[in-house]
Amino acid sequence: MLISLWNKVESFIGLSATLKTNPDSISERDNASAFARLGVTKSTYAMWEKKVQECEEYLKKRKRVPLDEKEDDKQLVQFLNNQRKGYKEGWLSQDKEDILIEKFDIVLFKDIPKGDKIETKKKEDVEHIKYGVVEQPLVFSREQARVFIPHKDLVKPALKDSENEVLWFSMIVNTIAKNYNEKATLVICGSFYEVEQISSRLKTLLPNENIISAERNRPTSQVVAQFKKESGIMIGTRNYGTGLNLPKKQLEKEFIVKLPFPVFNTKKWLDIKEQDKKNNTSFYQSTYKNEMILNFRQWIGRLIRTKDDKGDLYILDGRYNDTRYMKTLKFWLERMGIIQKDLIIFDEENCQIKLSQDGLLKEFINSLDCEDDIKSFYHENIEKIKSTKKLPLALGDTFTSEFKTKCRELRQEIGQVSS
């Protein structure tokens, strides 16, 4: 019954997004795990390999492969005939074709004209699951979105109502207000408490702006519908990070207040901790991290929905810089076509971006997306950057025209480096 069900599946919601974020994959087996995580255990590469192994055992035992419909093992006959059909029609991947030829010689495809590979045809967003995974090209370009990442000193308050809470909320609200620029904006918070605190402060700071907040007893769909109609700033809980389709100018800025770590004191995580303690394992930590990263991929996917979208992503959680997470988070940002830009750095006294200290300026320069010789030029002129609050231009005959152009373009793109 289960096999029959999966053979009738035409598409799978969310599957294309999972595959598109793995553009460097060169093999179907790399994408098999994507299906497995979504709960699809049939028609994956692993299941295909198992069928090939069964055919090998049949060949060793009977000195031939089962291709006749009268064979006693009709499932293997159907499987191999399906591979021959894929070879003829062009949807059998090169990976599978190479393995089948190696194991069963060319006799499997003897006298069958080889069809054009499906990769040479126009790619669709979703391919039929029963025919395996087809690599999808990125639909986003690196120029479409920028990400502003937090300095390591930006951290969440240790506890609710702690002495750092007022300062922390001020940092968050000032950053949103400073970068809003009357663009359609989504703010994703970690709880209703944060939604309420940030909303009330923003309404005071931006009294003339339309601020739409998630409410405890109001359906998410109503809040989103209002935002689509009126625009402004929508402040929501973590469930606003999934299932929202706000293309083009419906969403141009997104602020992630906290990274989407699971709520660790729920029964699920308490049970996992208990199992770890009982079995002396570390399943909790790896699962906890992986679930956060999966949610993070969903959240950043709210910003860029089509090839015509542009937007800015602001991560306001200093845990981004934790060595346990940063490399993987940055990997997925790049896979989503989002480029690294400025650091978000706070002055605790006035909650404004500050890059006047030498150490912070050096970090800022090293984070720029440019060649090493340009970075070296900026490091040599660090005092000038501190005084002018801008990146310097390359002047004089000692620089090539190409070098001058790159410096000028980067200066125009970055603008001021301190406020």
Residue 90 lies in a domain: yes
Predicted confidence at residue 230, as pLDDT, reads: 93
In a domain, 139, yes or no: no
Q: What is the pLDDT of residues 150-169, one digit of tens each?
A: 877 666 554 454 556 777 88
Question: What confidence tens digit (pLDDT) does each residue in 83-139 have?
Answer: 888 888 888 888 788 888 888 877 788 778 888 765 544 444 444 444 444 444 455
| 41-55, 127-141, 220-234, 392-406: least confidently modelled range | 127-141
Residue position matching structure tokens 């986003």: 140
Q: Please tell me the predicted confidence (pLDDT) of residue 96.
A: 86
**Can you tell me the distance from the alpha carbon of 213 to that of 230, in angstroms, rounded to the nearest whole number?**
13
Helix, coil or strand: residue 311: strand
At residue 27, does pLDDT exceed 50?
no
Give how many domains the chain has, as a whole number.
3
- Res. 338: pLDDT tops 90: no
SS3 breakdown of the chain: % helix, strand, coil, rounded to 5?
Answer: 50, 10, 40
Q: Which residue has the higher pLDDT, 184 or 5?
A: 184
The sign of the CA dihedral 354, 181, 390, 367 is positive
Q: Give me the percent of the chain exceeding a pLDDT of 70.
A: 73
The domain in which residue 270 lies consists of 145-352
pLDDT at 164: 64
| pLDDT attached to residue 162 | 52
Per-residue pLDDT band for 18 (boundaries 50, 70, 90) equals very low
**Average pLDDT across the chain, whole number:** 75
Say whether both 318 and 207 belong to one domain: yes
| pLDDT greater at residue 257 or residue 12 | 257
Q: Give whichever of 1-10, 158-167, 180-189, 355-364 has the largest mean pLDDT.
A: 180-189
CA distances from 67 to 4, 60, 141, 297 (A): 21, 15, 46, 44
* Cβ partners under 8 Å of residue 6, min gap 6: 40, 42, 43, 129, 130
Same domain, 254 and 311: yes
**Residue 140 located in a structural domain:** no
pLDDT at 412: 73
Residues 6 or more apart whose Cβ sits within 8 Å of residue 351: 167, 170, 171, 174
How many CB atoms are located within 10 Å of the residue 20 CB? 19
Averaged pLDDT, 393-412: 83
Phi, psi of 344 (to 5 degrees): -95, 110
Q: Does residue 22 sit in the same domain as residue 99?
A: yes
For residue 347, what pLDDT band results from cuts at 50, 70 and 90?
low
Q: How far is residue 322's CA from residue 329's CA, in Å, rounded to a whole number? A: 10
For residues 175 and 262, membership in a common domain is answered with yes
Q: What is the dihedral of CA 151, 157, 162, 167, to 10 degrees?
A: 40
200 vs 162: CA distance, rounded Å: 19
266 and 287 co-located in one domain: yes
Q: Which of 106, 131, 156 is the last residue of a domain?
A: 131
Whether pLDDT at 43 is above 80: no
* Residue 278, domain CATH: 3.40.50.300
Residue 10: pLDDT over 80: no
CA distance 59 to 55: 6
Would 333 be classed as within a structural domain? yes
**68 and 181 together in one domain:** no
The residue with greater pLDDT, 231 or 261, is 231
pLDDT beyond 80 at 357: no
Tally Cβ neighbours within 10 Å of residue 193: 11
Kindly state whether residues 24 and 8 are assigned to the same domain. yes
Within a domain: 137: no
Average pLDDT on 329-335 reads 84
pTM greater than 0.75 (yes/no): no
Tens digit of pLDDT for each residue in 195-210? 998 998 899 888 899 9
Q: Read off the amino acid at residue 124.
A: E
Say whether both 229 and 330 belong to one domain: yes
Residue type, 341: K
* 293 and 267 both lie in a single domain: yes
Indicate whether 331 pLDDT > 60. yes
Domain-located, residue 291: yes
Share of the chain above pLDDT 90, in %: 13
The dihedrals phi and psi of 237, each to the nearest 5 degrees, come to: -85, -175
**pLDDT(33) > 50:** no
pLDDT at 249 over 70: yes
Same domain, yes or no, for 154 and 243? yes
Is residue 170 within 8 Å of 201, Cβ to Cβ? yes
> How large is the average pLDDT for residues 22-37?
45
CA distance 21 to 14: 11
- Structural domain ending residue among the three candidates 131, 158, 192: 131
SS3 category, 413: helix
| Domain assignment of residue 171, yes or no | yes
Residue 389 pLDDT level (bands cut at 50, 70, 90): confident
pLDDT number for residue 366: 76
198: which residues sit within 8 A by CB, 6+ positions away? Answer: 169, 172, 173, 176, 187, 189, 235, 257
Q: CA-to-CA distance for 86 and 277, rounded, in angstroms?
A: 49
Residue 190 lies in a domain: yes
- Pick the closest to residue 64 from 10, 221, 73, 24 (CA basis): 73
- Is the same domain home to 336 and 416? no
Q: List C-alpha distances in Å: 92 to 78, 88, 298, 310, 412.
A: 15, 8, 31, 36, 49
Which are the contacts of 328, defined by CB distance < 8 A and separation ≥ 6? 293
pLDDT at 153: 66
- Could you tell me if 15 and 162 lie in one domain? no
Using the predicted structure, report yes or no on whether residue 362 has a pLDDT greater than 90.
no
User: Which one of 131, 162, 191 terminates a domain?
Assistant: 131
Cβ burial of 362 (10 Å; 0-12, 13-18, 19+) is middle
Higher pLDDT, 409 or 184: 184
